[in-house]
Structure 1
Amino acid sequence: MYSTILVPIAFEEGRDSSAALDIAKALLAPGGTITALHVIEEVPSYASTYLDESLIVEARKSVMHALAAKLGDHKDVTPHVVTGHSGRTILEEAGRMGADLIVIASHRPGLQDYFLGSTAARVVRHAKCCVHVIR
């Protein structure tokens, strides 16, 4: 059983966050915590100079509401939204919170994944804790 579980949530089509949350709950030790993490990709600096700060704040609020809605009946899961590069930021957040398990959903690998690697593959290769991958 695990006491601190991180579940990265992507809003992409075909990612089953519900299954990842169910598995996290099944592996959770009594008194443990589950955090659902969504990473907003950073806007490149050449584009961010043209964006109004209020637009960025509103977009972040919208993402937080979408994450809360995606959690649905999982009321005991803490939603968390950060900005950064997906693979690196998931690993940083896992380290920051002292996660002992990451439960991450992954798509079936395509040809491009063999050359570039998916976010889940990066997390598996570099995590300092256990990783459970859902397909």
Structure 2
Amino acid sequence: MFQRILVPTDGSDITAKAVDTAIRLAKSLNARLYTISVKEPFPYSAISEMQPTPPQEFFEAQERIAARRIQDVREAAEAQGVDCEAHTIEALHPWEAIIEHAQRMGCDVLVMASHGRRGVTALLLGSETQKVLTHSKIPVLVVR
């Protein structure tokens, strides 16, 4: 059925549920697992001299955080005997990076977390998962 599964991670508790589900799914299907953590780009402004954090320091911090997130997924997968390929990517819109990465890796399903927001809250806050659901041509399994 599914042979290449992508699970994005932001390190949150809700994402941990999606990671666990993706690992169990990959194990049951003998599938390959991929994980991605999307890094924020540096918030350049017109007054760049006023930035509280120098760009290089910002990039290094973002990479450390993202690397830790994917390493956690990798370790959890390997503990269950599941192969896991991990990547960090910088993108302004995480949902676009997730879809593009899934296509690039040839994934046939995405496993993502949902915070379960409804109504006006969901409309105002938006959701990377909702945006992926709206734009992805690849099936998306949403974990709550």
TM-score, with length taken from structure 2:
0.76
Matched, 1:57 2:65: no
CA distance in 2, matches of 1:7, 1:57: 23
CA distance in 2, matches of 1:7, 1:18: 6
Which amino acid in the other structure matches residue 6 of structure 1?
L
CA distance in 2, matches of 1:122, 1:134: 15
1:61-85 Cα shifts (integer Å, max 9, x gaps) = 3420332124433122112111112
CA distance in 1, matches of 2:130, 2:113: 11
Tell me: CA distance 1:120–1:59, structure 2 relative to 1, closer, same or farther (3 Å).
closer
Matched, 1:129 2:143: no
Give the number of equivalent residue pairs.
133
CA distance in 2, matches of 1:27, 1:125: 28
The aligned runs of 1:19-38 (5 Å cut-off) are 19-26=20-27, 28=29, 30=30, 32-38=31-37
Computed over aligned residues only, the root mean square deviation of the Cα atoms, in angstroms, reads: 2.5
Query: Residue 133 of structure 2 aligns to a residue in which SS?
Result: helix
Partner residue in 2 for 1:99: 107
Query: Residue 115 of structure 2 aligns to a residue in which SS?
Result: coil
Partner residue in 2 for 1:79: 86
Partner residue in 2 for 1:88: 96
CA distance in 2, matches of 1:127, 1:8: 14
Highest Rg: 1 or 2? 2
For structure 1, the residue ranges without an aligned partner over 5 or more in a row are none
Query: Residue 77 of structure 2 aligns to a residue in which SS?
Result: coil
CA distance in 2, matches of 1:23, 1:114: 31
Q: Which has the higher strand share?
A: 1
Q: Which has the higher helix share?
A: 2
TM-score, with length taken from structure 1:
0.80
Partner residue in 2 for 1:7: 7
